[in-house]
Protein backbone atom coordinates (compact mmCIF):
# COMPACT_ATOMS: atom_id res chain seq x y z
CA UNK A 1 0.00 0.00 0.00
CA UNK A 2 1.33 3.43 -0.98
CA UNK A 3 1.57 6.18 1.62
CA UNK A 4 -0.78 8.29 -0.53
CA UNK A 5 -3.47 5.59 -0.29
CA UNK A 6 -4.41 6.93 3.15
CA UNK A 7 -4.35 10.59 2.14
CA UNK A 8 -7.98 11.78 2.29
CA UNK A 9 -7.29 15.52 2.37
CA UNK A 10 -8.04 18.68 0.43
CA UNK A 11 -11.42 18.48 -1.31
CA UNK A 12 -11.45 14.67 -1.28
CA UNK A 13 -13.64 14.38 1.88
CA UNK A 14 -16.35 16.62 0.41
CA UNK A 15 -16.40 14.90 -2.99
CA UNK A 16 -16.24 11.50 -1.29
CA UNK A 17 -19.28 12.28 0.85
CA UNK A 18 -21.30 13.92 -1.90
CA UNK A 19 -20.68 11.41 -4.68
CA UNK A 20 -19.11 8.17 -3.43
CA UNK A 21 -21.22 7.68 -0.30
CA UNK A 22 -24.60 7.45 -2.09
CA UNK A 23 -23.01 5.54 -4.97
CA UNK A 24 -21.55 2.62 -3.01
CA UNK A 25 -21.55 3.06 0.77
CA UNK A 26 -25.10 3.71 1.96
CA UNK A 27 -26.44 0.19 1.42
CA UNK A 28 -23.61 -1.40 3.38
CA UNK A 29 -23.79 1.29 6.07
CA UNK A 30 -27.45 0.50 6.73
CA UNK A 31 -26.59 -3.19 6.97
CA UNK A 32 -23.80 -2.49 9.45
CA UNK A 33 -25.95 -0.17 11.53
CA UNK A 34 -28.60 -2.88 11.82
CA UNK A 35 -26.10 -5.55 12.85
CA UNK A 36 -24.59 -3.36 15.56
CA UNK A 37 -27.85 -1.90 16.86
CA UNK A 38 -29.55 -5.27 17.25
CA UNK A 39 -27.03 -6.17 19.98
CA UNK A 40 -28.32 -3.19 22.04
CA UNK A 41 -24.82 -1.96 22.95
CA UNK A 42 -24.22 0.54 25.75
CA UNK A 43 -20.89 1.66 24.27
CA UNK A 44 -19.85 1.63 20.59
CA UNK A 45 -16.56 2.50 18.92
CA UNK A 46 -16.40 3.19 15.21
CA UNK A 47 -12.98 3.22 13.57
CA UNK A 48 -11.99 4.54 10.14
CA UNK A 49 -15.36 6.31 10.06
CA UNK A 50 -14.60 8.31 6.93
CA UNK A 51 -17.21 10.96 6.23
CA UNK A 52 -19.70 9.40 8.63
CA UNK A 53 -22.15 7.35 6.57
CA UNK A 54 -22.31 4.59 9.21
CA UNK A 55 -22.47 7.17 11.99
CA UNK A 56 -25.52 8.78 10.42
CA UNK A 57 -27.20 5.39 10.04
CA UNK A 58 -26.27 3.99 13.45
CA UNK A 59 -26.65 6.90 15.87
CA UNK A 60 -30.48 7.07 15.63
CA UNK A 61 -30.70 3.31 16.29
CA UNK A 62 -28.77 3.41 19.57
CA UNK A 63 -30.23 4.02 22.99
CA UNK A 64 -30.07 7.71 23.99
CA UNK A 65 -27.92 6.59 26.93
CA UNK A 66 -25.44 4.70 24.75
CA UNK A 67 -21.94 6.06 24.36
CA UNK A 68 -20.88 6.40 20.73
CA UNK A 69 -17.24 7.21 19.95
CA UNK A 70 -16.39 7.86 16.29
CA UNK A 71 -12.78 7.94 15.09
CA UNK A 72 -10.76 8.27 11.92
CA UNK A 73 -7.08 8.63 11.11
CA UNK A 74 -7.77 11.67 8.89
CA UNK A 75 -9.04 14.74 10.75
CA UNK A 76 -10.50 16.28 7.56
CA UNK A 77 -12.73 13.22 7.08
CA UNK A 78 -13.79 13.39 10.72
CA UNK A 79 -14.58 17.10 10.37
CA UNK A 80 -16.76 16.34 7.36
CA UNK A 81 -18.53 13.57 9.29
CA UNK A 82 -19.27 15.82 12.26
CA UNK A 83 -20.56 18.60 10.00
CA UNK A 84 -23.06 16.22 8.36
CA UNK A 85 -24.30 14.51 11.55
CA UNK A 86 -27.79 15.68 12.57
CA UNK A 87 -27.23 14.80 16.25
CA UNK A 88 -23.50 15.52 16.34
CA UNK A 89 -23.55 16.50 20.02
CA UNK A 90 -24.40 12.97 21.12
CA UNK A 91 -21.33 11.57 19.35
CA UNK A 92 -17.77 11.72 20.70
CA UNK A 93 -15.48 12.61 17.79
CA UNK A 94 -11.79 11.74 18.14
CA UNK A 95 -8.91 11.47 15.71
CA UNK A 96 -7.30 8.07 16.26
CA UNK A 97 -5.24 5.39 14.58
CA UNK A 98 -7.14 2.09 14.53
CA UNK A 99 -3.86 0.25 15.12
CA UNK A 100 -3.14 2.20 18.32
CA UNK A 101 -6.42 3.16 19.91
CA UNK A 102 -6.36 5.61 22.85
CA UNK A 103 -8.90 3.64 24.88
CA UNK A 104 -8.70 1.27 27.82
CA UNK A 105 -9.12 -2.46 27.36
CA UNK A 106 -12.63 -3.94 27.56
CA UNK A 107 -14.35 -0.56 27.07
CA UNK A 108 -16.83 -1.16 24.24
CA UNK A 109 -19.67 -3.60 23.62
CA UNK A 110 -19.25 -3.20 19.86
CA UNK A 111 -16.52 -2.05 17.53
CA UNK A 112 -17.42 -1.37 13.89
CA UNK A 113 -15.42 -0.40 10.83
CA UNK A 114 -16.88 0.17 7.39
CA UNK A 115 -14.46 -0.50 4.50
CA UNK A 116 -11.50 0.64 6.55
CA UNK A 117 -9.47 -2.45 7.40
CA UNK A 118 -8.09 -2.62 3.85
CA UNK A 119 -6.10 0.49 4.74
CA UNK A 120 -4.52 -1.04 7.87
CA UNK A 121 -0.78 -1.51 7.21
CA UNK A 122 -0.89 -4.44 9.67
CA UNK A 123 -4.25 -6.20 9.50
CA UNK A 124 -3.64 -8.56 12.43
CA UNK A 125 -2.54 -5.68 14.65
CA UNK A 126 -5.69 -3.75 13.73
CA UNK A 127 -7.93 -6.71 14.50
CA UNK A 128 -6.11 -7.34 17.79
CA UNK A 129 -6.54 -3.72 18.79
CA UNK A 130 -10.28 -3.92 18.14
CA UNK A 131 -10.41 -7.05 20.29
CA UNK A 132 -8.42 -5.36 23.05
CA UNK A 133 -10.90 -2.51 23.50
CA UNK A 134 -13.92 -4.86 23.26
CA UNK A 135 -15.61 -6.23 26.32
CA UNK A 136 -15.26 -10.05 26.66
CA UNK A 137 -18.75 -10.58 25.25
CA UNK A 138 -18.38 -7.82 22.66
CA UNK A 139 -18.67 -7.88 18.89
CA UNK A 140 -16.48 -6.62 16.05
CA UNK A 141 -18.33 -5.87 12.82
CA UNK A 142 -16.52 -4.78 9.66
CA UNK A 143 -16.77 -5.11 5.92
CA UNK A 144 -14.40 -5.21 2.95
CA UNK A 145 -14.83 -4.91 -0.78
CA UNK A 146 -14.53 -7.98 -2.95
CA UNK A 147 -12.19 -8.01 -5.96
CA UNK A 148 -12.44 -5.07 -8.32
CA UNK A 149 -13.90 -7.16 -11.17
CA UNK A 150 -17.03 -7.61 -9.02
CA UNK A 151 -17.35 -3.84 -8.52
CA UNK A 152 -17.90 -2.64 -12.03
CA UNK A 153 -17.69 1.15 -11.76
CA UNK A 154 -14.42 0.99 -9.83
CA UNK A 155 -13.14 -1.45 -12.43
CA UNK A 156 -14.18 0.79 -15.32
CA UNK A 157 -12.41 3.85 -13.87
CA UNK A 158 -9.29 1.79 -13.19
CA UNK A 159 -9.25 0.60 -16.81
CA UNK A 160 -9.63 4.18 -18.02
CA UNK A 161 -6.68 5.27 -15.90
CA UNK A 162 -4.60 2.35 -17.19
CA UNK A 163 -5.39 3.33 -20.78
CA UNK A 164 -4.37 6.93 -20.17
CA UNK A 165 -1.18 6.02 -18.31
CA UNK A 166 -0.07 2.70 -19.87
CA UNK A 167 3.52 3.00 -18.65
CA UNK A 168 2.55 3.65 -15.04
CA UNK A 169 -1.12 2.71 -14.51
CA UNK A 170 -2.70 4.09 -11.32
CA UNK A 171 -3.68 1.07 -9.24
CA UNK A 172 -5.06 2.57 -6.01
CA UNK A 173 -8.54 1.07 -6.37
CA UNK A 174 -7.35 -2.43 -7.28
CA UNK A 175 -4.43 -2.33 -4.83
CA UNK A 176 -6.11 -1.13 -1.64
CA UNK A 177 -9.94 -0.93 -1.49
CA UNK A 178 -10.33 -4.00 -3.70
CA UNK A 179 -7.08 -5.77 -2.92
CA UNK A 180 -7.86 -7.33 0.46
CA UNK A 181 -11.14 -9.20 0.07
CA UNK A 182 -10.10 -12.85 0.45
CA UNK A 183 -12.42 -14.40 3.05
CA UNK A 184 -10.06 -17.21 4.03
CA UNK A 185 -7.12 -14.86 4.59
CA UNK A 186 -9.20 -12.45 6.65
CA UNK A 187 -10.60 -15.28 8.76
CA UNK A 188 -7.10 -16.60 9.40
CA UNK A 189 -5.91 -13.13 10.43
CA UNK A 190 -8.85 -12.74 12.81
CA UNK A 191 -8.00 -16.04 14.44
CA UNK A 192 -4.37 -14.96 14.78
CA UNK A 193 -5.64 -11.79 16.47
CA UNK A 194 -7.46 -13.91 19.03
CA UNK A 195 -11.05 -14.05 17.81
CA UNK A 196 -12.79 -17.35 18.40
CA UNK A 197 -16.13 -17.03 16.60
CA UNK A 198 -16.07 -15.58 13.10
CA UNK A 199 -18.98 -15.34 10.68
CA UNK A 200 -18.84 -13.86 7.19
CA UNK A 201 -21.51 -12.86 4.70
CA UNK A 202 -21.24 -11.79 1.06
CA UNK A 203 -23.55 -8.98 -0.01
CA UNK A 204 -24.10 -8.37 -3.71
CA UNK A 205 -26.23 -5.46 -4.84
CA UNK A 206 -26.40 -2.71 -7.47
CA UNK A 207 -24.66 0.62 -7.43
CA UNK A 208 -26.85 3.26 -9.08
CA UNK A 209 -26.40 6.86 -10.18
CA UNK A 210 -28.31 9.46 -12.14
CA UNK A 211 -25.66 9.47 -14.85
CA UNK A 212 -22.22 8.15 -15.83
CA UNK A 213 -20.52 11.33 -14.61
CA UNK A 214 -21.32 10.44 -10.98
CA UNK A 215 -19.09 7.35 -10.63
CA UNK A 216 -16.39 9.08 -12.70
CA UNK A 217 -16.30 12.06 -10.32
CA UNK A 218 -16.66 9.83 -7.27
CA UNK A 219 -13.63 7.69 -8.02
CA UNK A 220 -11.39 10.15 -9.86
CA UNK A 221 -11.87 13.07 -7.48
CA UNK A 222 -13.24 11.61 -4.23
CA UNK A 223 -10.66 8.92 -3.47
CA UNK A 224 -6.85 8.80 -3.17
CA UNK A 225 -6.83 7.72 -6.83
CA UNK A 226 -6.91 11.49 -7.33
CA UNK A 227 -3.45 11.74 -5.76
CA UNK A 228 -2.06 9.27 -8.31
CA UNK A 229 -3.75 11.02 -11.24
CA UNK A 230 -2.60 14.50 -10.26
CA UNK A 231 0.95 13.30 -9.67
CA UNK A 232 1.13 11.77 -13.15
CA UNK A 233 -0.51 14.64 -15.02
CA UNK A 234 -0.95 17.85 -13.01
CA UNK A 235 -3.80 20.05 -14.17
CA UNK A 236 -5.61 17.35 -16.15
CA UNK A 237 -7.96 15.90 -13.51
CA UNK A 238 -11.06 17.31 -15.23
CA UNK A 239 -10.02 15.78 -18.56
CA UNK A 240 -9.34 12.41 -16.94
CA UNK A 241 -12.74 12.54 -15.27
CA UNK A 242 -14.37 13.26 -18.63
CA UNK A 243 -12.58 10.27 -20.15
CA UNK A 244 -13.81 8.03 -17.33
CA UNK A 245 -17.34 9.39 -17.82
CA UNK A 246 -17.22 8.56 -21.54
CA UNK A 247 -16.04 5.01 -20.87
CA UNK A 248 -18.81 4.43 -18.32
CA UNK A 249 -21.33 5.92 -20.74
CA UNK A 250 -20.25 3.55 -23.48
CA UNK A 251 -20.57 0.54 -21.19
CA UNK A 252 -23.67 1.45 -19.16
CA UNK A 253 -25.61 4.08 -21.12
CA UNK A 254 -26.15 7.83 -21.13
CA UNK A 255 -28.98 8.06 -18.60
CA UNK A 256 -29.24 6.58 -15.12
CA UNK A 257 -26.61 3.86 -14.69
CA UNK A 258 -26.54 0.73 -12.58
CA UNK A 259 -23.77 -1.79 -11.98
CA UNK A 260 -22.83 -4.68 -9.74
CA UNK A 261 -20.99 -4.16 -6.47
CA UNK A 262 -19.97 -6.80 -3.94
CA UNK A 263 -18.52 -6.84 -0.47
CA UNK A 264 -18.04 -9.14 2.52
CA UNK A 265 -19.26 -8.54 6.08
CA UNK A 266 -17.47 -10.07 9.06
CA UNK A 267 -18.88 -10.48 12.54
CA UNK A 268 -16.22 -11.56 15.05
CA UNK A 269 -16.48 -12.36 18.73
CA UNK A 270 -13.76 -13.11 21.22
pLDDT digits (tens, 9 = 90+) for 68-111: 999 999 999 999 999 999 989 999 999 999 999 999 999 999 99
**Predicted local confidence at residue 142, as pLDDT:** 98
Average pLDDT, whole number, for the chain? 96
Q: How confident is the model at residue 13 (pLDDT cuts 50, 70, 90)?
A: confident
d(CA 164, CA 160): 6
Q: How confident is the model at residue 9 (pLDDT cuts 50, 70, 90)?
A: low
Considering the entire predicted model, what is its pTM? 0.94
**Predicted local confidence at residue 4, as pLDDT:** 57
**Predicted local confidence at residue 244, as pLDDT:** 98
> Does position 7 have pLDDT exceeding 80, yes or no?
no
Torsion of CA 211, 213, 214, 215, to 10 degrees: 110
Domains of the chain and any CATH numbers? 3-269 (3.40.50.150)
d(CA 157, CA 149): 11
Amino acid sequence: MSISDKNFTGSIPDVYDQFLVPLIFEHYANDMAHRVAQTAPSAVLETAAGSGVVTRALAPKLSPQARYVVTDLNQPMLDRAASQQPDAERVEWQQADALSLPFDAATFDAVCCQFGVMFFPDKVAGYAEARRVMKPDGIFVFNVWDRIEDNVFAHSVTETAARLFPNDPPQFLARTPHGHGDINSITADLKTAGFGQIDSYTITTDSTAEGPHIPAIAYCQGTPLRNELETRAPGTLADITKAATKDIEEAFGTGPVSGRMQGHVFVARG
